[in-house]
């Protein structure tokens, strides 16, 4: 493999931290193949992470260095719907088209017909708005019209000892009632770094929750760098957990019954996932996660898998030098793509609509440092065949497909924006 030069870039988390790293390799560059034998032609991941194959011939997935500065896609117009959001983080649509948007300081704002209500919704519990912490993602229960449940992820505790929580509450006209914590990570961590916090409903009615690894050196837990919690299957840090809608553990989670593993864990070996997306057409589950200094990743997720952090990585230490001596090892799942220099990924959508027919099935990854959407076209084997960049001009925190079939973007700023991508005539 070609030698990699160090490049410094600012990392895009809620409170900026350094992120950058190795020089970008040619977009066709590869590394050693994953030994995950379930990766096959036309494989799709179901709701519980099981892989269904339409062909039996195995393929060898390869990791590609994506281009943070890909060519500009000018087929859409970037339209500002509204401004005045303070560090918005997540968004969801009610059945009547009203939007709910979280603001990291601890507010949920309502947008009706493109107009931001001046008053936030009442009933939100106090949050730890510390660095990258605060009120983070939001998701509606799949049967929201019947039960009115809204789910919110947020940081709780103090700067010295904090955890990620997920609560659900019923939405009424003026705000939330019956606020109930259904999940809390099982380890306290210091400082306000790496909460993860994306929420994703699966077709079987279970909920995935992304949990960050806890933070960067020199932060320590149990006598070692806190990032090693991502390989500790008794710790929620650095994992994705899967829950029933009331917070209880599904009996078919991959590690249920194993004495050395917390039963909530669905996958592990993650650094800081701030994007989860389900492709409704294929059942595949995708994520992007922050690297340290470069090495941001796009992963295709499945139950029970170990994604390697920090044992294998394309990242380098913020202080310089390697984190690991390997980018791939047997038994660890390789990323589909990585970005160096970093884009600081946050927000991810798989487009399945009719407003941009040329983008059917493509992925849209938000970039905080990139201040853009990265459009990614993959083939049936998950290999990159086309990529482009849609400049936004501010740090992109979230991207979602709206009920009208258009893509919407939130920008992370003190005066954050809600943006819509309109097709050019």
Contacts of range 217-224, beta carbons closer than 8 Å, 24 or more positions apart: 217/317, 217/318, 217/319, 219/189, 219/190, 219/191, 219/193, 221/187, 221/189
- 228 within 8 A of 236, measured Cβ to Cβ: no
Bridge-based pairing state of the strands 64-66 and 337-339? parallel
Peptide bond into 341 cis (omega under 30): yes
- Integer Rg of the chain from CA: 20
d(CA 403, CA 406): 7
Torsion sign across C-alpha atoms 132, 396, 352, 296: negative
Cross-strand partners of 80: 419
d(CA 253, CA 242): 7
- 206 within 8 A of 198, measured Cβ to Cβ: no
Angle at 125 between CA 120 and CA 129, to 5 degrees: 85
Whether residue 141 lies in the annotated active site: no
Angle at 85 between CA 79 and CA 88, to 5 degrees: 95
Specify burial of residue 223 (Cβ count, 10 A radius: 0-12, 13-18, 19+). exposed
Q: How many CB atoms lie within 10 A of CB 245?
A: 17
**What would the two tokens of residue 306 be?**
């170990």
Element (H, E) at 146: helix 144-147
**What DSSP state is assigned to residue 322?**
B
Instruction: For residue 100, give Cα distances in angstroms to 148, 167, 210, 277.
Output: 13, 16, 20, 18
Catalytic member of 194, 228, 236, 270: 194
- 135 within 8 A of 126, measured Cβ to Cβ: no
d(CA 338, CA 121): 38
Residues classed as catalytic? 194
């Amino acid at each position: 493999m070609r030698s990699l030069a160090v490049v410094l870039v600012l990392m895009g988390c809620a409170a900026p931290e350094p992120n950058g790293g190795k020089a970008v390799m040619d977009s066709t560059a590869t590394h050693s193949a994953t030994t995950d034998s379930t990766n096959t032609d036309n494989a799709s991941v179901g709701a519980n992470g099981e892989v269904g194959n339409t062909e039996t011939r195995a393929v060898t997935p390869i990791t590609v260095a994506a281009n943070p500065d890909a060519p500009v896609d000018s087929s859409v117009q970037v339209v500002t719907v509204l401004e005045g959001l303070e560090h918005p983080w997540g968004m969801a649509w009610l059945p009547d088209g009203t939007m709910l948007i979280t603001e990291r300081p601890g507010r949920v704002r309502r947008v009706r017909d493109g107009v931001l209500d001046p008053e936030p919704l009442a009933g939100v519990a106090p949050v730890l708005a510390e660095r990258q912490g605060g009120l983070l993602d939001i998701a509606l229960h799949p049967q929201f019209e019947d039960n009115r449940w809204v789910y919110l992820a947020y940081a709780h505790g103090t700067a010295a000892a904090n955890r990620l929580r997920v609560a659900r509450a019923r939405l009424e006209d003026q705000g939330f009632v019956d606020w109930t914590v259904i999940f809390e990570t099982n380890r306290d961590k210091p400082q306000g770094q790496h909460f993860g916090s994306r929420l994703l409903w699966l077709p079987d009615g279970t909920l995935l929750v992304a949990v960050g690894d806890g933070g960067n050196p020199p932060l320590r837990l149990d006598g070692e760098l806190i990032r090693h919690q991502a390989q500790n299957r008794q710790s929620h840090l650095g994992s994705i957990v899967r829950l029933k809608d009331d917070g209880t553990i599904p009996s078919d989670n991959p590690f249920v019954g194993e004495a050395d593993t917390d039963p909530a864990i669905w996958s592990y070996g993650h650094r800081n996932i701030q994007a989860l997306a389900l492709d409704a057409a294929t059942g595949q589950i995708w994520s992007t996660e922050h690297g340290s200094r470069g090495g941001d990743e796009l992963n295709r997720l499945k139950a029970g898998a170990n994604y390697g952090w920090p044992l294998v990585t394309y990242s380098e230490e913020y202080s310089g030098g390697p984190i690991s001596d390997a980018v791939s090892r047997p038994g660890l799942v390789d990323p589909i793509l990585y970005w160096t220099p970093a884009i600081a990924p946050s927000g991810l959508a798989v487009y399945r609509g009719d407003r941009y027919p040329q983008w059917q099935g493509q992925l849209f990854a938000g970039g905080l440092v990139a201040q853009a959407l990265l459009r990614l076209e993959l083939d049936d084997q998950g290999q990159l065949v086309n990529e482009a960049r849609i400049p936004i001009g501010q740090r992109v925190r979230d991207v979602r497909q709206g009920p009208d079939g258009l893509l919407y973007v939130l920008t992370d700023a003190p005066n954050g924006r809600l943006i819509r991508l309109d097709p050019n005539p």
